[in-house]
Copies of this chain bind each other. A is one copy, B any other.
Amino acid sequence: MTFTFDRIASAGAARAGVLMTPHGRVDTPAFMAVGTAATVKALDPLELEAIGCQMILANTYHLHLRPGDEIVRSLGGVHRFMGWDGPMLTDSGGFQVFSLESLRTVSEDGVEFRSHIDGSRHRFTPESVMQIERNLGADVIMQFDHVIPGQSVEADARDASERSIRWLVRCRTEFERIAQREQGTGNRGPYFQGASVPGSLFPVPAQVLFPIVQGGIHSTLRREASRAIRSIDDWLGYGIGGLSVGESKPDMYAMLDVVNEELPTDRARYLMGVGFPEDLVEGVRRGVDMFDCVAPTRMGRNGTAFTADGRVNVRRAELKADPRPLDETCECSTCKRFSRAYIRHLFVADEILGLRLVSLHNVHFLVALMRRSRAAVIDGTFDAWSRDWLARYHTRPTPVS
């Protein structure tokens, strides 16, 4: 069993590809639903599978604190723990611990922080994070990185980006050390199933490590980081981090253009923590293959639905007797079965099914949007299709929210 990424079509910078993992295939571009605490909030893995979501994400920070990555490992790894047998990715916790402003101290060695749950002290280093992600056992694991606010000045951004690269080297060393130790002792988690495949990129085929390109909104730093990371190894995929964290959309898109030029075209690119429908389409236009974001489930729980005509706040009084689905063009299980009036009723009555139905619809919306983008790349219509889609999206009538 091994990992591969194949680009099967392209249209300008946009690409259609296939990421293969020991847990199956991911057709790219792809949106990954976020299962922060080993559950995509309010949804069942079977529902995600049914809407064609092929890969999901879990959070190292949250699972390390609760229930603990060693418990997850003892129960067979995060796939078995949460009942998801498809491809999975874990982030490194970098984003979370650097968000704990007053609760953490950063050094070259790593980050000391206090749990947001109980105030207990913890320490993340490149080495400890590799062990935690090993214990969780996702297919793709992300390096531990230094994340900074989106508007940081160049000096701060350079400091964090260069530290992230030094930490990448330590992550890679530890990743290989753990693999060799576990192969040597036979102390393998239940997820450690593949034999080492000669010629594969990594000695442990059951997991693959992705680096993360940082550099804030500074083109020079993004270029330098991309080149430095490429000089360390021939990675299967590259995370693009530190975007959608407070910078403007033009700044984000400009950084994607820079990184698109610098990263190898035959490797996967994963834009971390993004995003909203328009960001996904803009990202695909700039060569991104993978996305993740909590927006569809968070907005779903708040009663805001994505539709082709903008967002809908499902609590609005004028939906009270509206027999239409949330989105008349949508093929999801929510829209095929339920009216806006019913979904409004569920939210007004504080019924859990309401959160479920809108969360499912929103995740489906992004998964289907990426499926549509992929088809357009393959059939050669992506440029026109995406321009039309964005034009309609940006000129939509006053959103009913």
Residues in A lying within 8 Å of B, measured CB to CB: 37-39, 41-46, 62, 66-67, 71, 74-76, 81-83, 320-321, 323, 333, 337-339, 341-342, 344-346, 348-349, 351-353, 355-356
Contacts and interface: CB of A to CB of B under 8 A. Distances in A.
B83 A346 contact: no
A320 B75 contact: no
A41 B352 contact: yes
Nearest to A322: B75
A321 B42 contact: no
A42 B352 contact: yes
Nearest to A345: B67
Contacts of A345: 37-38, 66-67
Number of copies: 2
Contact of A66 (B66, B338, B348): B348
B337 A83 contact: yes
B41 A342 contact: no
Contacts of A66: 345, 348-349
Nearest to A333: B46
Nearest to A37: B349
28 contacts: A37-B346, A38-B342, A39-B346, A39-B351, A41-B351, A41-B353, A42-B352, A42-B353, A43-B353, A44-B353, A45-B337, A46-B333, A62-B349, A66-B345, A67-B320, A67-B345, A71-B320, A71-B321, A75-B339, A75-B341, A75-B342, A76-B323, A81-B341, A81-B342, A83-B337, A83-B338, A352-B352, A352-B356
Contacts of A352: 41-42, 352, 355-356
A75 B333 CA distance: 19
